Amino acid sequence: MKKFEDLDKLNINASIYKTRLAKKYLNRQPYKSADPRQVISFIPGTILDVMVEPGQIVRKGDILMILDAMKMKNHIKCKMEGIVKSVLVKKGDKVSKGIVLVEME
């Protein structure tokens, strides 16, 4: 058991506490914001159709592909204007949550 002098400091809302910190807390990964140039699957499913190809110019709101998940057809839309750098999936592919589908320039 750790003695009071051996406890670690934890800052919560500008208050300092002395406590034991779990390994999970000590090994946590810092927050990293998503890359806006990547279109990522938000749910697992099957790619029904791909509407874009590399080199194509797209606008915000354009449909990039259709993802079938839980018997629903989800239209994956572009969130920025740009040029499609690469399409990493094809029609019929099964994808998991968090997979990069399209990269933009």
Place of tokens 């399209």: 102
- Joined tokens for residue 20: 């034991």
Structure tokens at 7: 């406890």
Cα(11)–Cα(22) distance, rounded to whole angstroms? 15
Question: What pLDDT was estimated at residue 25?
Answer: 86
C-alpha 82/C-alpha 37 separation (Å) is 9
Top-confidence residue, 61 or 8: 61
Domains of the chain listed by start with CATH number = 38-104 (2.40.50.100)
Q: Could you read off the pLDDT of 38-92 as tens digits, one per residue?
A: 999 999 999 999 999 999 999 999 999 999 999 899 999 999 999 999 999 999 9
Pairing between strand 100-104 and 72-77?
Answer: unpaired
Asked if pLDDT for residue 5 goes beyond 80, the answer is no
